[in-house]
Amino acid sequence: SPAQTDAGLNDERPTAALPGANSTRHAGLAAWVAEIAELTQPDRIHWVDGSDEEYARLTAELVEAGTLVRLNDEKKPNSFWARTDPSDVARVEERTFICSVDEADSGPTNNWMDPAEMKAIMTELYRGSMRGRTMYVIPFCMGPLTADKPMFGVEITDSAYVVASMRIMARIGADVLEKMGSDAPYVPCLHSVGAPLEAGQTDVAWPCNPEKYIVQFPEERMIWSYGSGYGGNSLLGKKCYSLRIASAMARDEGWLAEHMLILKLISPEKKVHYIAAAFPSACGKTNLAMLDPTLEGWEVETLGDDIAWMRFGEDGRLYAVNPEFGLFGVAPGTGWKTNPNAMRTIEKGNSLFTNVALTDDGDVWWEGYSEVPPNHLTDWKGRDWTPDSDELSSHPNSRFCTPIKQCPIIADEYEDPNGVPISAILFGGRRATTVPLVTEARDWAHGVFMGATLSSETTAAAVGQVGVVRRDPMAMLPFIGYDAGDYFNHWITVGKDNDASKLPKIFYVNWFRKDEAGKFVWPGFSENGRVLKWVIERLQGKAAAVETSIGHVPTPDAIDISGLDLSLEALQVALNVDDEEWKAEIPLIEEWFAKIGDKVPAALRVELDTLKQRLGA
Ligand code: GDP
Ligand code: PGA
Ligand code: MN
């Protein structure tokens, strides 16, 4: 048939003849794009300019293809509803690789394969993988374009959904390409959904491939992703570049690339403090970043909700920049009561909603959006849903993707390429037991120990079992782009190389402790501002604490619970340090250190010994 002949001809067609080829004066980039087009055989190449017209056209095409549904403009202007293939809903840690040249450099916590072997496998997967599709070239910049050294990337993808999402999540398009000039270094990011179309074959609404690879080549600073369209796997500027690749850059250059929100806290006396906080995926970063404090006189402004790049300034303080341009938040649990600022952000529109439910009047809904669900919804699998359905209307890892600048409490400093000086770093996880509401580290090394031994229950943000306690160091377990032991050493070294008096103070928080009935003992969300108040007062030497075996924990009267319907007993449960429970952690920490092996820094072994002594373990 003619169709087959066409497909055959495609293989022979020189890339330079493709519509859209050669659209840059950056010779290195042009050569890479040509090489990838040669390999993947797209029907056409589109250089993404990031304009409104382009976005309108791409989203209209996605609506036509059935990937997106346009929402009611009166509810969510210029916004869309997407449903993925039910198998493509979260990050795939099992399929994520750090392909360093030497296996030892990827360490005991990452999957590894020899880079040459991985490239050979993936090259065969990419061969012809964009046939029948458009190859989009997305120039992007993580962090402000006005930085001394803008952090460029270029993502090649065959997914228009990825283009539309990248436009929200990163600074992309013509301005970036212009700024790259003829020779700026950039991180090449290759993405294919792995679903070529033969001539005449009709597309599915969510093309993807059961075989998935999310691969980082740290020495080459390069990313290859195949088979998935889910944000964490396909928006390569985010976790892949800004954490996995950037953490390797940061190790080499003496800075930190961390899985942290950044917030600005303003006290009633108008004193400003900047706080960074690392919690594992789906453990409260986006919510804390946009906190609406209940405490009189306290205000929060947002700088970032997921990633912080931190460098020491000339004054010796640690400065944080958010490299992202949008919010990719967990939808369920986000509502007017829990996170009104997120609701105000998405209300302004220009957003993509993935795997949530659709209302009959063209709006979105998810568990926690409002107290009373609508009488009828279309669920994330496209089926009818009513309040007496047995299943959730939305996938637990369903997401809103929305421009950060729409956040009503975005801080002015957000665009400052030099970032903001961090006064406190919080590490936190989701633990039903053992870990108190807040603990202050005695010093940097103790704080690094808290981070390095952080534990949390697994969530729906990654494929796999939910609710299993695992060690998640600095909330970076799936994101450290090199050996975890080397990463701990980097944290220790950063502390030693800089003025201790100017280092941020480190705290360990847990909003998720439960009582015997299985209820959260701490109300969380907006009330977490009360914990931030204690943190700031500790920095100022004002708030009371008791020294426990694990660090400084507030005395119950040191936490301001004015106007809060919380009994003193409940607060005591939240703050309780039970040495017996902590003794039970020791073998788990020892097992964890054994897994990390010889590279566990001596300073952290000292911290473990100190903890054991204090516990009498
Ligand atoms: P992120 O992935 O770390 O940004 O986490 P999110 O802020 O999106 O929150 C993940 C889930 O945890 C959502 O369902 C939230 O509603 C819930 N959550 C966030 N903060 C709190 C809190 O303080 N207490 C409780 N109980 N749940 C929270
Ligand atoms: P998050 O990350 O859950 O930390 O917001 C998003 C993802 O990569 O899935
Ligand atoms: Mn988040």
Report whether 78 belongs to an annotated binding site.
no
Say what the pLDDT of residue 4 is: 38
Q: Annotated catalytic sites, by residue?
A: 283
pTM of the model: 0.96
Q: Is 358 helix (H, G, I), strand (E, B) or coil?
A: strand
Residue to mutate, 259, 287, 526, ligand 1, most ligand atoms under 8 Å from C-beta: 287
Distance of CA 551 to the CA centre of its chain: 29
Residue 243 CB less than 6 A away from ligand 2: no
- Encode pLDDT of 106-141 as tens digits: 999 999 999 999 999 999 999 999 999 999 999 999
Nearest CA to ligand 2 atom 2: 281
Say what the pLDDT of residue 255 is: 98
Distance of CA 524 to the CA centre of its chain: 21
Closest ligand to the CA of 332? 1
Q: Do 273 and 283 form a contact (C-beta atoms < 8 A)?
A: no
Residue to mutate, 239, 260, 283, ligand 1, most ligand atoms under 8 Å from C-beta: 283
d(CA 142, CA 322): 8
The Cβ of residue 598 has, within 10 Å, a number of other Cβ atoms equal to 5
Say what the pLDDT of residue 183 is: 96
Pair of tokens at residue 203: 């597309």
Q: Assess whether pLDDT exceeds 80 at residue 6.
A: no
Q: What b/e string do you get for 8-36 counting C-beta neighbours within 10 Å, with b at 16 or more?
A: eebeeeebeebebbeebebeebbebbbeb
Q: Give me the percent of the chain exceeding a pLDDT of 70.
A: 97
Closest CA to 427 of 411, 415, 444: 444
Say what the pLDDT of residue 18 is: 76
Q: Assess whether pLDDT exceeds 90 at residue 331.
A: yes
Residue 395 CB less than 6 A away from ligand 2: no
**Mean pLDDT across 55-66:** 98
Beta bridge partners of residue 438, listed in sequence order: 509
Q: Which amino acid is at 382?
A: G
Atom of ligand 1 nearest to the CA of 279: 3
Closest ligand to the CA of 334? 1
Say what the pLDDT of residue 51 is: 97
Beta bridge partners of residue 186, listed in sequence order: none
- Encode pLDDT of 537-552 as tens digits: 999 999 999 999 999 9
Residue 334 CB less than 6 A away from ligand 2: no
Using a CB cutoff of 5 Å, list residues around ligand 3, an ion: 285-286, 329
Q: Assess whether pLDDT exceeds 90 at residue 2.
A: no
Distances (CA, A) of 222 to 185, 216, 336, 373, 481: 11, 6, 40, 44, 12
Sign, CA dihedral 147-151-152-158, equals negative
Q: Which amino acid is at 11?
A: D
Q: Do 244 and 221 form a contact (C-beta atoms < 8 A)?
A: no
**Mean pLDDT across 38-51:** 97
Mean pLDDT of the chain: 96
Residue 464 CB less than 6 A away from ligand 1: no
Say what the pLDDT of residue 452 is: 98
- Encode pLDDT of 391-426 as tens digits: 999 999 999 999 999 999 999 999 999 999 999 999
Residue 459 CB less than 6 A away from ligand 1: no
Sign, CA dihedral 378-404-134-192, equals negative
Q: Assess whether pLDDT exceeds 60 at residue 75.
A: yes
Say what the pLDDT of residue 15 is: 66
**Mean pLDDT across 70-76:** 98
Closest ligand to the CA of 330? 1
Strands 352-354, 187-192: pairing is unpaired
